[in-house]
Each structure stands twice: as structure tokens, then as C-alpha cells.
Structure 1
Amino acid sequence: MNRRRFLTISAAFAATPAFARPPLREIRGQAMGARVSLLLAHPEAEAVAGRALAEIARLEAIFSLYRDSALVRLNRDGVLGAPPFELLDCLALCSRVHEATEGLFDPTVQPLWALHAATHSAGRPPSAAELAAARDLTGWRDVVLDEAAVQLGRPGMALTLNGIAQGYIADRIGDRLRAEGMTDVLVDTGELRALGGRPGGGDWPVTLAEGQGTLSLRDRALASSAPRGTVFDVEGKAGHILDPRTGHPAEAPWRLVSVTGPSAALADAASTAFCLMDRPQIEAALARMPELRLAALA
């Protein structure tokens, strides 16, 4: 995850005016296997950030695939009773992006992801028969959710929220800080959520990877995906974003897809799915999610 993060976005910390008072602070933590940071100027910056980092840890205990999280229990048991609100909220956003991308954003690809990870670790790609068996365990239509339970329709199905959870966490932290009266904060979970602009004036300047220049953020989110930002194989050819139609890694020509919007979660999920699309398909999906904008396509 760290490689994916550094290949996509880096916030221009040094560009913040030196005259900002209180001084701008960058306070770091960890979430979903990646470094997170908060950029803020506040007389109680440590305490504010401490509460935010504690909330990030709570959310990670819902979305992580590597802890005894709500998501892990759902994947293990096939059903999760009394699901946390945040899980239901995130899955509802998944449904929206799944529909807007005509099924290309599909969190049920986790069996395919596990297959690629296992076979490439053994030094080979998955066979056609293995891919077919794993694809039989996918299908968003077979995920049933309401306030009582989330249920996976067939034994062996599993979800991954790695294409949306970092953005979702950025949104939740941004909302929490705004509720505390905070303004002019940049939340960086690997995806960015800006509250206001830089302390002292101006927007938050952001540098995009792949030589795609810079842009400014104010009260907006930015998310990026790179098909080969993380890879399964030592040759660096089998990227981590999988096509649910074929089970294979993304074959679109893009090195980087960046999306802005009011929600980091929506931008995160959309940028993931756009890695599987050509330009006309991306434009059609954006027409179904008009609050989003394409920031970079390289």
C-alpha cells in the first residue's frame, strides 16, 4: 500500500506560508497499512490529532482485512449481524459506484485478489480453471445488506474495501474535525480531504505523480489510483486492480487516474474503477456521478 500511495499523490507541505500562526503541524499515524497525516494549525494540535487518530484506529477495526475486524468476520462467516453503521454506509456507497460504473467497481473481487496473491507468490499466474472458480465467488448482486445484517450470498464469497476505505476514512475524519469547529485542515489517508484551505491563506497545493502537474484543493477531496502502483509479480506486470469481468489485472493504458469531488470515498472508488475503463466509459460514468471531476488521466 505504501508504494501505491507514493506513486499517486503527495501534498506540498513546504508550500504553506511560514507566517501561519499557530504554526502548521504535520502529525502522522497509520491506517490500512499506510501512513496517514493531518496538516493543521491549532494551539491544541496534538490533542486534536490524537482524537482523530483514535477514530482512525476505530474505523480500521471495521474495514481492515488483516485484523479481527467487522469485515474479516463477515468474510469468515458469510454473515454479520448488527453491522456497524460505518460498514453499511460504506457498502451503500459501493452500491452507487457499482451501478455508475456498470459493475466495474465490485468489492466482491476479494477471492480473485487472494488467488492472484497466492499463485504469484508461488511464482506463477493463476490458471484458467482457478480464475473461473474464483470468479464464481464474485457478484455484487449477491450481497444483501440492511440494518439487521450483511450477508454474502454464497459460501466462499468475500469483500475487499481497499478501493474505497482509505477515502471513506478521510471523509469521516474530515467530518469529525469540522464538527469540532476545525477549519483549514488537510486529511491525508493516502487519499486527501481538504477542509478549507491553507492556514494563513490560499488553497492546499497538491502535486500529482506521473508528471501530471499540480492542482489546488479547497473544501474538496482528491483520490488517485495506479493500476501498477502495487503488483503481484516480481516483473511488475500484474497490477493489483482486477477486472471482475475477466479476473485479470487492469488492461487499460492508464498509469494514473485522479478524481476530485466532495467525497474522498466516492473519488477513491471511482478512480479505482476508471483504471478498468477507456475514456468514453469514464466520461459516461462521470455523467452518472456529476459531483466528481477527472483531475488526471495519464
Structure 2
Amino acid sequence: MTMPRRRFLALSACALATPARAGARHAWQGTALGADVALTVRGGSAEAARAFFAEAARSLRGVERQFSLFSGSELRRLNALGRLAHPSAEMLAVLRLAAAVHEATGGAFDPTVQPLWQARRLGQDETAAAALVGWGDVRFGPSEVRLTRPGMALTLNGIAQGFAADLLAEVAARHRLAEVLIDAGEIRALGPAPWDAVIEAPGGRVLHRLALRGRALATSAAYGTRIGPAGDRAHIIGPAGQAPRWALVSISADRAMLADALSTAAVLMERPAIDRALAAFPEARVEALVPA
């Protein structure tokens, strides 16, 4: 999976958050992982906002070095070589949460689907690619990340943009900015005052309105981008090649990375299974579901 596809979903089907109250606003736009990033600071001085934006830009360059699909990133080296020596703390944090969500979702969240996704995108026979899927064959620790079978590859498309949003929230806290809206493909809203959010279907129909206060919001739309030679296949693929059960899922949580991973997996799951998965993360909840 590629990062631009994930960002397309955020633009077409995710939350459009705006300040719920008036106040001085400072804004910044940039890019990361092939997607637009927008930061809005409510209140505070222009000088503090500029310092935050400068550090945010540096942090996003670090995210690119870890999770970009371009040559030289940690993820690209891991997929090319099957191993990554001395992974960054950021890579390990993402893999640890991926493992937790994989377990909670009964395997629905599985970053090893990349070979299967690639085969489906190209219209190739999926038998060999399907045999390479299996999170149980990923080993990771401070000294090494290893894909134990030749040909395996990871996609972190369903979690890395959420990680970027959480990282920027940490940067904002260091600059003592209390009210910040972060859109890095997934939404993270900081501050005691709410940010109004609207979850929209791909066609623009309003599904749900909510006030985000110190929470994150992620939306996955199975057919927001279509793949395959005929352009008729969902871009979210289960580890067994299964089709999505939901056209759109929105989940909120205290962390964008968690909401990101859970919304991706939930597209593939029946509602009782979603509820069981969220029981492992009491801070997460479903905000919108649209049947496929």
C-alpha cells in the first residue's frame, strides 16, 4: 500500500475539524509520507506557533526517514533486505502497537499483506503472495527487525500517519501550546476546548458530527481508492485476501496511531469482532460505520 492512497481517504472521507470557538489562529501546511499535513494553533503567540511549526517540519523529515516508501528509509531497507539492524525507537513503537492491534483484532490488522496487495494491484495470481502473509513471521527488538521468509514485506500505511500525528502532538506539548489541531492524514485534537468535526462519506453526505477534545479520529474507506487492472478492488485487503465488510469506518481514541490501526482493521471485521477488539482498548470507540 502507498501513503498517497491513505491521504486520499483522509481528504475525501475523514474528519474536517474546525475550531469550536473563536480566537487567534496560526496555521502551517507541509507534507509527509506523500500527504499534506495541516497544523492549526488556537491562541498563543505568533512566535510560539512559528517555533512549533519549525520543529514540526524537522520531526516530519524524521518520519520520512523511517516510514517513507522512498529509497533509504528504514521501511524500504527492511523490505528490500528482509532485516533492519538497530531500528529506531519510532519504528519499534509502531511495530509494538501493530502487534497489539493484530492480537486484539484476531489478525485482521496485519502489515505483512504488502505482497498480496501488490499482486492484487497488478492483477497477478495471488497464491504465492498469500503464502508470504503472516505477522507471526516478523521478529523485532532493539537490535533487529527481521522478516523470516524471503519475499515478505511490510506496509505501515494503516498506522504510520497516525504515528506522525501523535509525534506532532508531543512537539506541541514541548512548546506549551494547549490548543492545536493536527491533520497528518489522521486527526489529533489537543486542548480543553472542543474542535468540531464532521465525518463525511466519500460522496459528501454527513454521517456524524462530534466535538473532539483531547482525542484523535481516523477514518478508513475501503473503496475510497480502488486497485487492480479494472480499478474495481478495494485497497484495504485482509490477510486471507478477504473483502471489506464495511465501506467506511471511523474510530476515535486517545492516540491517532491507535485510531488509525483500529479503523483499518475494522473495515474487515464483523461488528461483534470490532466490539471485542475495542474492549482491549477502552479509550477507543466507533464513531461511524457504513456497510459495504
TM-score clears 0.5: yes
How far did residue 290 of structure 1 move? 1.8
Instruction: For structure 2, list consecutive stretches of 5 or more residues without a partner in the other structure.
Output: none
Kindly state the Cα deviation for residue 46 of structure 1 after the two structures are TM-superposed.
2.5
Within 5 A, what are the aligned runs for 1:56-71?
Answer: 56-71=60-75
The aligned counterpart of 2:194 is 203
Alignment of 1:36-75 (within 5 A): 36-41=37-42, 42=44, 43-44=46-47, 45-75=49-79
Deviations 1:102-148 (A, max 9, x none): 1110000111122122x2xxxxx33xxx2110011111001011100
Which deviates the most, 131-140 or 280-289? 280-289
Runs of 4+ in 1 over 6 A off after TM superposition: none
**Which one of 262, 273, 278 corresponds to residue 254 of structure 2?**
262
Q: Which amino acid aligns with 1:7?
A: S
* Residue from 276, 281, 287 that aligns with 2:268: 276
> Contact between 1:111 and 1:158, CA under 8 Å: does it hold in 2?
yes
Deviation at 1:256, TM superposition (A): 1.3
Q: Unaligned stretches of 5+ in structure 1?
A: 120-124
**Sequence identity (%):** 43
Report the Cα distance in structure 1 between the residues aligned to 2:232 and 2:9, rounded to whole angstroms: 14
Q: 1: distance between equivalents of 2:11 and 2:230?
A: 19
2:84 aligned with 1:88, yes or no?
A: no
Alignment of 1:240 with 2:235, yes or no, is yes
- Structure 1 residues 56, 240: closer, same or farther in 2, change over 3 A? same
Q: Which moved more, 1:180-189 or 1:231-240?
A: 231-240
* Contact persistence 1:163–1:268 (CA under 8 A): yes
- Find out whether 1:111 has 2:111 as its counterpart: no
C-alpha contact 2:186 2:256 (8 A) present in aligned 1 = yes
State the partner residue of 1:149: 144
SS in 2 for 1:11: coil
For the residues of structure 1 that align with 2:169 and 2:51, how far apart are their CA atoms? Answer: 16
Match of 1:188 among 183, 192, 196: 183
Q: What is the distance in 1 between the residues matched to 2:219 and 2:17?
A: 16
TM-score, normalised relative to structure 2: 0.91
Q: Letter of the 2:216 partner, please give it.
A: A
1:31 is matched with 32
Q: Please state if 1:165 is matched with 2:136.
A: no
CA deviation after TM superposition for structure 1 residue 234, in Å: 6.9
Determine helix, strand or coil for the equivalent of 2:116.
Answer: helix
Deviation, 1:67, is: 3.6
Q: Helix, strand or coil: the match of 1:74?
A: helix
- Amino acid corresponding to residue 278 of structure 1 in structure 2: E
Q: Is structure 2 residue 224 aligned with structure 1 residue 229?
A: yes
Aligned to 2:208: 213
The structure with the largest strand share of the pair is: 2
Aligned to 1:140: 135
TM-score by length of 1: 0.89
Out of 169, 178, 187, the residue aligned to residue 173 of structure 2 is 178
